[in-house]
Amino acid sequence: MKLSVWTYEGPPHVGAIRVATGMKRVHLVLHAPQGDTYADLLFTMIERRNHRPPVTYTTFQARDLGSDTATLFKDACLEAYERFKPDLLLVGASCTAELIQDDPGGLAEALGLPVPVVALELPSYQRKENFGADETFYQIVRKLAHPVERSAEITCNLIGPTALGFRHRDDIVEITKLLSELGVQVNVCAPMYATPDDIANLGRAHFNVLMYPETGETACRHMERTLGLPFTKTVPIGVSATNEFVDEVLGLIGRARSECSVDSRLPWYSASVDSTYLTGKRVFIFGDGSHVMTAARIAKEEIGFDVVGMGCYNRELARPVRAMAKELGLEALITEDYLEVEAEIADLSPELILGTQMERHIGKRLGIPCAVISAPVHVQDFPARFSPQMGAEGANVIFDTWVHPLVMGLEEHLLTMFREDFEFSDTAGPSHHAAHSPNQEIVDQPTSIAASDQSANIIWLSDAEKELRKIPFFVRGKARRNTEKYATDHGVAQISIETLYEAKAHYAR
Amino acid sequence: MEAVIRDLPNDDKTQLAVLGALPDVVQDQMMRLFTDMGIDDVLVLPQQTAGIPAGVGKNTHFICAQPFLGAAYDEMVRRGANAIHAPFPFGANGTTEWLAAIAKRFGIDQDKFDAATAGPKARAERAIAKVSETLAGRSIFFFPDSQLEVPLARFLSDECGMKLTEVGSPYIHRALVGEDLKLIEHNAVISEGQDVEKQLDRVTACNPDLTVCGLGLANPLEAQGLSTKWAIELVFSPIHFYEQAADLAGLFARPIVRSDLLKVGGAI
């Protein structure tokens, strides 16, 4: 296991907590050392939950390890049952507890509690948070969901939303509304908001809507086999994807496909003349696979950006992300190491980053604007207002969110015209967001970091360096990078003004 | 500008005066071209820095870098300065013609002129050729807005292969844009002044691939399914001389590239 200061995903037991916290009348007993209780704050602070997650930690200490930790676990289970009276008990072990092999499942079964118990195998050293959520939900469904009579009216289940998910709360509302417009009612939404009784009734639905493949796909596949429930494959983020999702749903319920498009403002806003400046802006996209793939499509086909790099941190979706990157002529970056992501961003020097909380930090350091598109996110990405990612309103939110960090089109020209003015000076940075406005020294850093081994030997003559300074800061990084690449490719050791303009002409498009 | 020129003292030294504000980086490029051509005494109006002594007189030879300086032009003539006429310095040809007219007035020999311009001209042509792939054969319609219309139409038709339909300009000062006008009159409808309703009828009838217009018209025309280009952007952007030639072509290519890129219908 690689030690890292920050990680995109927690260990798998955090995924189990996300499922338990999203659900109702469920309790999770985690065999875990003192200290693992930190996980609570992810939910109570970042998501602003006003209740502690329904989790009991056995909190053994170092001195307990030689003695009877199994009894400690059994006592914790009994106390948790007595105190919380859940309809379903989940038991598992966190990273450290996994090593002491107390078999929480067997121990809990032996207690003979009057409610179902689901034992979770969470291989902390091989898998991560999304797997933990996906696996936990799958085990719950496997235990509780059995064939039942279909509802008379056409219904579906919403599968995948959990606690701490990126915009899950609002996506549920938006998709419920969209389905209702298609004449489809929601039978159960799970894990979020579902009780164990609801899980038992999943089979009443006619099909499943798989909202988040990361956390719901295994359960959907299981229900397809055992309950005969087909599931949707399109994640409805973006205008085109939402239209395709509508078609998919209509296909599943045997209705004619619709010709009309979802009612989003994105297409018109994107066609509006003030969006012309968005054309060909170089973007780098990183996050969970599903959000990255939908974002890449929106970036390219709905906003007109140039996707210059993309990747994901969850290896479960590495294959489709790689395939999509290849279609865009790119090689996907699949990594859990944010330092690798930072190096790639510095190297590509994009004009916008679409990423997670980690990329937001990277963007701040490098002076590149960033919009958040995927978990993990911070408290500010659980907004008070309604702000889904899915459906028509999701597309509206995405347009606003992605465009907001950028310098506006005409503003770019004002920046060129009034370079000496305080409001438009270089130090005002690439965005009107103070957070994205580091001073000049920092703005120019990425290009020097980005200099490859080859270009490290290239010298900028002082006239050329001065000329570069006259170019507005929001294109200067690109100009520097292109010029150095041109010089390297053409065996030019010293960059003169002539080289600068030869390179500019060379990269004209 | 007119007032600035009126207040300048008389100076009978032989000098070149260039009228029109340019971005710093562009003005510096221009000054390097003059230096390479062997012209050192150059007065740029408005002056970048206040307080540097300057004057104009009967040995001042002046040329405009912007076409919307009719009053300044007339004031220079009143002050006894001698106008140099040329197409505006947009694109590789426009810039070469503009510089050549100056070189001729100052008796610069051809070799020296070629040495100064051949390199940047060649790369400007190469760069324009790439961007022109999007523009060649497409039709363009100009609403009257910035007075840049005639010179820009010359550049787009002559150097980028665009088909001119109507070129409207709020005011056509022949002394300023006459050289450009000569090059496009035969293949475009030139209209001076504004009659927006009739112009809208004409743009709808001719359905051009690109329409250059003011901010007030752009979005309604986009909603009608036309690709538009904000005229104001052309006033704000660095578009003069060789090194910006491809950027200028790019400003017109971008809306066309964009409508090809977007896969979701924009009309409402």
Do B243 and A304 count as a contact with CB atoms less than 8 A apart?
no
H helices within A145-186, ranges in order?
Answer: 168-181
Within this chain, do residues B153 and B114 fall inside the same structural domain, yes or no? no
* Average pLDDT of chain B, as a whole number: 94
The ipTM assigned to this model is 0.88
Within this chain, do residues B18 and B86 fall inside the same structural domain, yes or no? yes
Nearest to A433 by CA among A460, A453, A408, A396: A408
The set of residues, in sequence order, having a beta carbon less than 8 Å from that of A82 and lying 6+ positions away, is: none
Do B222 and A273 count as a contact with CB atoms less than 8 A apart?
yes
Residues in B touching A302 (Cβ below 8 Å): 262-264
Cα separation of A341 and A358, whole Å?
9
Reported residue count of chain B is: 268
- What is the b/e burial string over B186-207, where b = at least 16 CB atoms within 10 angstroms of the residue's CB? eebebbeeeeeeebbebbeeee
Domain A411-506, CATH: 1.10.8.550
Please give the pLDDT value at position A455.
Answer: 58
The set of residues, in sequence order, having a beta carbon less than 8 Å from that of A471 and lying 6+ positions away, is: A479, B25
Domain end residue (candidates: B72, B87, B121): B121
Within this chain, do residues B15 and B75 fall inside the same structural domain, yes or no? yes
Banded model confidence at residue B204, pLDDT cuts 50, 70, 90 = very high
* A200 pLDDT above the threshold of 50: yes
Within this chain, do residues B101 and B144 fall inside the same structural domain, yes or no? no
Within this chain, do residues B35 and B117 fall inside the same structural domain, yes or no? yes
Look up A274 and say whether it is catalytic.
Answer: yes
Instruction: Give me the mean pLDDT over the A397-417 stretch.
Output: 79
Terminal Cα distance for chain B, rounded: 44
Cα separation of A299 and A280, whole Å?
10
Indicate which CATH number applies to the domain containing B115.
3.40.50.1980
* Average pLDDT of chain A, as a whole number: 89
Out of A398-412, B108-122, B123-137, least confident range: A398-412
Please give the pLDDT value at position A456.
Answer: 66
At the topology level, CATH places domain A12-143 in: Rossmann fold (3.40.50)
Contact A430, A443 (CB under 8 A): yes
CA A467 to chain centre: 41
Contact A436, A367 (CB under 8 A): yes
* B102 pLDDT above the threshold of 50: yes
Residue B126 lies in a domain: no
Residue B127 lies in a domain: no
The set of residues, in sequence order, having a beta carbon less than 8 Å from that of A258 and lying 6+ positions away, is: A246, A247, A250
Q: What are phi and psi of B40, to 5 degrees?
A: -105, -25
Q: Is the pTM of this model over 0.95?
A: no
pLDDT tens profile A267-304: 999 999 989 999 999 999 999 999 999 999 999 999 99
What does DSSP assign to residue A238? S
Please give the pLDDT value at position A432.
Answer: 46
Instruction: Give me the mean pLDDT over the A428-457 stretch.
Output: 47
Cα separation of B28 and B5, whole Å?
22
Query: Residue ranges per domain, chain A?
Result: 12-143, 155-252, 266-406, 411-506
* A98 pLDDT above the threshold of 50: yes
* B24 pLDDT above the threshold of 60: yes
Nearest to A54 by CA among A93, A94, A81: A81
A272 touches chain B (CB under 8 A): yes
Out of A369-383, A465-479, A492-506, B61-75, least confident range: A465-479
* A5 pLDDT above the threshold of 80: no
* Strand order from edge to edge, sheet including A370-372: A333-334, A306-312, A282-287, A352-355, A370-372
* A454 pLDDT above the threshold of 60: no
Within this chain, do residues B142 and B107 fall inside the same structural domain, yes or no? no
* A306 pLDDT above the threshold of 50: yes
In angstroms, what CA-CA distances link B91 with B28, B135, B157, B241, B251? Answer: 17, 14, 11, 6, 13
Total structural domains within chain B? 2
* A223 pLDDT above the threshold of 90: yes
* A452 pLDDT above the threshold of 50: no
Contact A206, A151 (CB under 8 A): yes
Where do we find the tokens 């067997």? A106
Please give the pLDDT value at position A60.
Answer: 82
| E runs forming strands in B88-219 | 139-142, 163-169, 189-192, 210-213
A225 touches chain B (CB under 8 A): no
A475 touches chain B (CB under 8 A): no
Q: What are phi and psi of A285, to 5 degrees?
A: -125, 130
Please give the pLDDT value at position A343.
Answer: 96
Within this chain, do residues B203 and B168 fall inside the same structural domain, yes or no? yes
Out of A7-16, A99-108, A419-428, least confident range: A419-428
Instruction: Give me the mean pLDDT over the A355-377 stretch.
Output: 95
Instruction: Give me the mean pLDDT over the B47-51 stretch.
Output: 81
A83/chain B closest Cα distance in angstroms: 55
Residue B207 lies in a domain: yes
Banded model confidence at residue A437, pLDDT cuts 50, 70, 90 = very low
Out of A39-43, A65-69, B102-106, B132-136, least confident range: A65-69
**Residue B46: cis peptide before it, omega within 30 degrees of 0:** yes
Domain end residue (candidates: B75, B96, B121): B121
Confirm whether A266-406 and A411-506 share one CATH topology: no
The set of residues, in sequence order, having a beta carbon less than 8 Å from that of A462 and lying 6+ positions away, is: none
* A445 pLDDT above the threshold of 80: no
Residue B40 neighbours by CB distance under 10 Å: 10
Strand-pair category, A185-190 with A370-372: unpaired
Within this chain, do residues B95 and B142 fall inside the same structural domain, yes or no? no
Please give the pLDDT value at position A36.
Answer: 81
Please give the pLDDT value at position A448.
Answer: 41
CATH number 3.30.479.30 is the correct assignment for the domain at A155-252: no
The set of residues, in sequence order, having a beta carbon less than 8 Å from that of B198 and lying 6+ positions away, is: none
Please give the pLDDT value at position A173.
Answer: 98
User: Nearest CB to B265: which of A261, A275, A300?
Assistant: A261
Within this chain, do residues B255 and B139 fall inside the same structural domain, yes or no? yes
Instruction: Give me the mean pLDDT over the B104-126 stretch.
Output: 97
In three-state form (DSSP H/G/I as H, E/B as E, the rest C), the secondary structure along A421-466 is CHHHCHHHCCCCCHHHCCCHHHHHHHHHHHCCCCHHHCEECHHHHH
The boundaries of the domain holding residue B192 are: 134-261
In angstroms, what CA-CA distances link A274 with A354, A472, B24, B55, B227? Answer: 21, 20, 26, 43, 12
- Better-scored residue on pLDDT, A430 or B36: B36
Within this chain, do residues B139 and B255 fall inside the same structural domain, yes or no? yes
Banded model confidence at residue A439, pLDDT cuts 50, 70, 90 = very low
Out of A72-76, A132-136, B34-38, least confident range: A72-76
The secondary structure element, H or E, covering residue A208 is: strand A207-210
Strand partners, B83: B62
* Helix pair angle (B24-37, B110-135), 10° resolution: 140
* B47 pLDDT above the threshold of 80: yes
Please give the pLDDT value at position B185.
Answer: 94
A273/chain B closest Cα distance in angstroms: 6
B156/chain A closest Cα distance in angstroms: 16
Please give the pLDDT value at position B196.
Answer: 94
At the topology level, CATH places domain A266-406 in: Rossmann fold (3.40.50)
pLDDT tens profile B223-250: 999 999 988 888 888 999 999 999 999 9
Please give the pLDDT value at position A419.
Answer: 56
Cα separation of A295 and B224, whole Å?
28
Residues in B touching A508 (Cβ below 8 Å): 126-128, 130-131, 246-247, 250
Q: What is the SS3 assignment for A309?
A: strand
Helix count and strand count (H, E) for chain B? 11, 9
pLDDT tens profile B135-164: 999 999 999 999 999 999 999 999 999 999
Do A304 and B131 count as a contact with CB atoms less than 8 A apart?
no
Out of A88-102, A426-440, B33-47, B134-148, least confident range: A426-440
Instruction: Give me the mean pLDDT over the A459-486 stretch.
Output: 87
Chain B residues with CB under 8 Å of a chain A CB are 23-25, 28, 32, 119-120, 123-124, 126-128, 130-131, 215, 218-219, 222-223, 228-230, 232-233, 236-238, 242-243, 246-247, 250, 254-255, 257-259, 261-268
Instruction: Give me the mean pLDDT over the B80-108 stretch.
Output: 98
Nearest to A200 by CA among A218, A227, A175: A227
Nearest to A324 by CA among A339, A312, A341, A338: A312
Contact B71, B25 (CB under 8 A): no
Where do we find the tokens 């060379």? A506
